[in-house]
Homo-oligomer: A and B are copies of this chain.
């Protein structure tokens, strides 16, 4: 509608003037202005096409015509709150429930993953009568106050005094870089036992556990795939303590993992959370989300006597859009596509791992894939600057990818679900070229440094080894972008 109202420079100036400076932009020194998008592609104001490998919100593809049509038609007809009866609400709840284990049968519709996770905490605290929450290291669960409290990804920036005393942090079940790794005989039990210990310690201090909350696969935390059996054991410990298990599917749900519709199902059929929260992909960009829980939890919440009213949550337009998204996933077999293309992408990346020492680990399920870059495979030194260089170089080639995790060294794939094998080939081919360049540069600098020690010391620089080189290409030019332009976050 207002496709190009301002010149790019003016847009940037107006943004600086009117938008909160805490709201970051991708590639801040040279941001991208996107004016339209379709499928897995975005287009800038010059018509240049970008391949989108990061937008897990545009789940069934940017501007999918079926979703747009469903939204537009319902907007014309009715958009009101859920204090009136409407078929879209109940039909959508019924459809969503059908994707979940029977036990998870009661829905609350809200507007964002943050609202969903906040409500999950309220439900858990009301049901259990307890207060304490166990969360994972590097976890991100949303931006409202109660969720900053349980998001080490955010609150690690705060002082100890600012951190919430009712929140306990368990190690991330990361078998690549975490406390218990692939060589451990039983990492699932080892990580779950840590949760058990946290519960014991909390009890000794008089605390009572309301819930354990985790993304079914950690996303901002570095694309972490917990070992099978971990959730079952955690749930057992937590339930024994009177708490419940909240599976956050905001980033990873709706078929992304390929083999299953929900990522928690990767743990096996014997695992059913007490609450599942949904978000991002649920409306293909439309602001909506959902909390699903058991009858018992829902009834306990009601006994407080406090009505739950959400002005926009579950309105007929949101539900029409949600239904259309489910229809498209099914009609276009996007879950199957995620499985097939995800496997192909992973196999291509595995070949790159054989070729490039910088690639330390490839992990993923379906179209949720992480590539962890390291400078040394034994020491697993995070190759943070190299990961940022990859992201930046890909952007120059019109491919959008992000790097995340506590060291920002994990390349993070979570593209629209219509991503193709050709798209996978293209991005891997480009990564190959970039990694080859970075490796060549590192070897070149190492040779220069090792051969000319006198010159280095004569300029008062400390002698560098290849491991120390943090900014492999054009140090001056890149200084800004290492700090401000990284693509990360949910």
B88 & A76 in contact (Cβ 8 Å cutoff): no
Q: A3–B14 Cα gap in the complex (Å)? A: 42
Q: Is A209 an interface residue (CB 8 A)?
A: no
Q: Is A11 an interface residue (CB 8 A)?
A: yes
Give the distance to chain B from A316, nearest Cβ to Cβ, in Å.
Answer: 8
Give the distance to chain B from A149, nearest Cβ to Cβ, in Å.
Answer: 9
Give the distance to chain B from A201, nearest Cβ to Cβ, in Å.
Answer: 23
Q: Is A378 an interface residue (CB 8 A)?
A: no
One digit per residue, 1 when the CB lies within 8 angstroms of any chain B CB and 0 when it does not, for chain A 245-283 equals 000000000000000000000000000000000011000
The B-contacting residues of A in range 369-391, CB under 8 angstroms, are none
**Chain B residues within 8 Å of A310, by CB:** 23, 112, 114, 143
One digit per residue, 1 when the CB lies within 8 angstroms of any chain B CB and 0 when it does not, for chain A 70-87 equals 111111111111111111
User: Which residue from chain B places its CB closest to the CB of A25 in the assembled complex?
Assistant: B83
Which of A30-38, A188-196, A338-346 is the contact stretch?
A30-38
**Chain B residues within 8 Å of A8, by CB:** 85
Give the distance to chain B from A476, nearest Cβ to Cβ, in Å.
Answer: 24
User: Which residue from chain B places its CB closest to the CB of A21 in the assembled complex?
Assistant: B302
Known A279-B311, A312-B112: A93·B320 in contact at CB below 8 Å: no
The B-contacting residues of A in range 1-50, CB under 8 angstroms, are 1-6, 8, 11-12, 14-15, 17-26, 31-37, 42
Give the distance to chain B from A445, nearest Cβ to Cβ, in Å.
Answer: 31
The B-contacting residues of A in range 105-123, CB under 8 angstroms, are 105-108, 111-115, 118-119, 121-122
Q: Is A444 an interface residue (CB 8 A)?
A: no
Q: A26–B307 Cα gap in the complex (Å)? A: 12
Q: Is A309 an interface residue (CB 8 A)?
A: yes
Q: Is A298 an interface residue (CB 8 A)?
A: yes
This chain's copy number in the assembly? 2
B143 & A1 in contact (Cβ 8 Å cutoff): no
**Chain B residues within 8 Å of A97, by CB:** 18
Q: Is A145 an interface residue (CB 8 A)?
A: yes
Q: Is A62 an interface residue (CB 8 A)?
A: yes
**Chain B residues within 8 Å of A3, by CB:** 77, 87
Q: A17–B90 Cα gap in the complex (Å)? A: 9
Q: A18–B77 Cα gap in the complex (Å)? A: 24
A35 & B77 in contact (Cβ 8 Å cutoff): yes
A interface, size bucket: 35 or more
The B-contacting residues of A in range 52-83, CB under 8 angstroms, are 55, 57-58, 62-63, 65, 67-68, 70-83
Q: A309–B19 Cα gap in the complex (Å)? A: 12
Which of A285-293, A348-356, A460-468 is the contact stretch?
A285-293
A306 & B154 in contact (Cβ 8 Å cutoff): yes
Of the candidates A34, A83, A105, A119, the one having the most CB atoms from chain B within 10 angstroms of its own CB is A83
**Chain B residues within 8 Å of A83, by CB:** 24-26, 487, 489
Q: A451–B81 Cα gap in the complex (Å)? A: 49
Give the distance to chain B from A256, nearest Cβ to Cβ, in Å.
Answer: 15
* Interchain CB contact (< 8 A) of A106 among B18, B67, B77: B18
Known A8-B85, A87-B11, A89-B19: A80·B34 in contact at CB below 8 Å: yes
**Chain B residues within 8 Å of A111, by CB:** 111-112, 115, 287, 312
**Residues of A participating in the B interface, judged by any CB pair closer than 8 Å:** 1-6, 8, 11-12, 14-15, 17-26, 31-37, 42, 55, 57-58, 62-63, 65, 67-68, 70-91, 93-94, 97, 105-108, 111-115, 118-119, 121-122, 143-146, 148, 154, 157-158, 279-280, 284-288, 293, 298-299, 301-302, 304-315, 317-318, 320, 323, 487, 489-490
Q: Can you report 16 residue pairs joining A to B where beta carbons are below 8 Å apart?
A: A1-B70, A1-B88, A5-B91, A19-B93, A20-B106, A23-B307, A23-B314, A55-B81, A63-B77, A65-B76, A80-B285, A112-B310, A115-B143, A146-B146, A148-B306, A287-B287
